[in-house]
Amino acid sequence: MSIEAEVPHEPGKAREFFRSVTKDVSWIAEAPKPHKLWLLALTVAIAMFGWGLFCIYKLVMTGIGVWGNSNTVCWAWDITNFVWWIGIGHAGTLISAVLYLTRQHWRVSINRSAEAMTIFAVMAAGLFPLLHTGRPWFAWWMIPIPNDMGSMWPQFRSPLMWDVFAVSTYMTTSILFWYMGMVPDLATFRDRCANQGKNIRAAIYGVVSLGWRGSARQWHRYERAYLILAGLATPLVFSVHSVVSFDFATSQLPGWHTTIFPPYFVAGAIFSGFAMVLTLLLPLRYLFNLQHIIKQEHIHAMCRIMLGTGMMVGLAYGSEFFIAWYSGNPFEQFTFVSRAFGPFWWAYFLMVGNNVLIPQFFWFKWVRDNNILIWALCICINIGMWFERFVIIATSLARSFLPSAWSYYHPTRYDVGVFVGTIGMFLMLFLLFFRFLPVVAISEVKGAAPEAHAGGPSKGGHH
């Protein structure tokens, strides 16, 4: 972004720019007919979601036995998918909150869609802990409400209860943050619909935009609140994935019990989340002509972040291995050797290959300029991060302390079906979001552009 560029000073020039930003984003929601490819993608997503719903129906009505989980590998795809989805959600918060706090202005082009991604990913994630209990209709037992069962209360010393609180707080915060950021843009939609005579739409957008009128006194409090929400979301996002890592690390199981887990999970979450952001945005950017808002340099920045977080994940893999040896604990050593060379060796090498080796491509500028290649690499990273969680969960369980209980894990079609279903749900919601809501933070893009300083004492001079 060229902040030092000549600031336009001709009358009307700046306003022309602001109008163009409004129009570039609003037309997606205003277009009378959706794009054909969008319709096709939505159909596929709904079909996947439908299949997932059927599998969930079978699962709930029959029991966990339809999954491949066993006494030995008692957590498998369910918790793998949960951690994977939650991790994907974290990039949204990182982009909207952490990059905001560190003043990375390039975030404005993608933060809205990344936040939407967070919410949908957390919804998908939340399904799995709920389903894996086997009797999801007792989920209310996790909420501390007075009841008639002899004053039975949740057991708060369990990391699984921490999960409930962390994930639901995260969900709530993400929704409020997303919505609050969207209010000025919903007001833009309101005013545009009113001007175009679409009164019903204008009324709906009018109600959800709460009567926003862009007053400086309102903006002042709004900006403070936004900053504080960002400041709250940042420690929250750290805590959520740390709590998820506590699910494993508080146990004594070799391969689960290691102190690096909290920051390592957070880094991995950001890594996989950025991969998912790009997986979604690269095609949609072409479909909806957003190239001049989501610029190539923004994609560059995301590639660099993936490279960096990929390295952090690699550092954590290395640390784990080293400390497993350093500890002198034979069980730890066995688990790590078994991970890499045991029956799940293929999963381990998929994980290392996709998470540590694949991001190395991002060192090269020609890779960062080739969007099709980036997209393919991001898919690899998504797969690699899924396998990271699978490796942690399945290999540790399959070869734990009791050799007589050792086992292998085979997924069933219901494992696959529920997972595919959540992907379908995620894509469906994201596609709907892209069609009906402001997909780019219009007001933030305007505020971050050089034109936002037009007419002011912008050049040189000391005060």
**If binding is defined by CB under 8 A, does position 169 make contact with another protein?**
yes
Which residue among 289, 297, 410, 459 contacts another protein (CB under 8 A)? 459
**If binding is defined by CB under 8 A, does position 263 make contact with another protein?**
yes
Q: Name residues contacting another protein, limited to 316-375 (CB under 8 A).
A: 316, 318-320, 323, 325-329, 363
Of 187, 189, 193, 192, whose CA–CA distance to 214 is shortest? 187
CA distance 258 to 247: 12
**If binding is defined by CB under 8 A, does position 260 make contact with another protein?**
yes
CB of 241 to another protein, least distance (A): 11
Binding piece for another protein, criterion CB under 8 A, among 49-57, 82-90, 210-218, 334-342: 210-218
CB of 301 to another protein, least distance (A): 9
**If binding is defined by CB under 8 A, does position 261 make contact with another protein?**
yes
Q: Which residues of 98-126 are buried (b: 16+ CB within 10 A; e: fewer)?
A: bbbeeeeebbbbbbbbbbbbbbbbbbbbb
**Which CB sits closer to another protein, 177 or 426?**
177
Of 233, 246, 240, whose CA–CA distance to 269 is shortest? 240
**Which CB sits closer to another protein, 39 or 152?**
152
For residue 97, which phi and psi values (nearest 5 degrees)? -105, -55
Q: Name residues contacting another protein, limited to 226-245 (CB under 8 A).
A: 227-229, 232, 235-236, 238-239, 242-243
**Which CB sits closer to another protein, 279 or 443?**
443
CA distance 182 to 386: 31
CA distance 421 to 293: 32
**If binding is defined by CB under 8 A, does position 156 make contact with another protein?**
yes
How many chain residues interact with another protein (CB under 8 A)?
A: 120
What spatial distance separates the first Cα and last Cα of the chain, rounded to whole Å? 25
CB of 400 to another protein, least distance (A): 15
CA distance 319 to 339: 15
**Which CB sits closer to another protein, 13 or 410?**
13
Whether 76 and 394 have beta carbons less than 8 Å apart is answered as yes
**If binding is defined by CB under 8 A, does position 47 make contact with another protein?**
no
- Residues 372-411, mask of contacts with another protein (x by CB under 8 A): ----------------------------------------
CA distance 384 to 275: 11
**Which CB sits closer to another protein, 226 or 430?**
226
Of 233, 235, 289, whose CA–CA distance to 115 is shortest? 233
Q: Name residues contacting another protein, limited to 177-196 (CB under 8 A).
A: 177, 180, 184-185, 187-188, 190-192, 194-195
**If binding is defined by CB under 8 A, does position 197 make contact with another protein?**
no
Rg (CA), the chain: 24
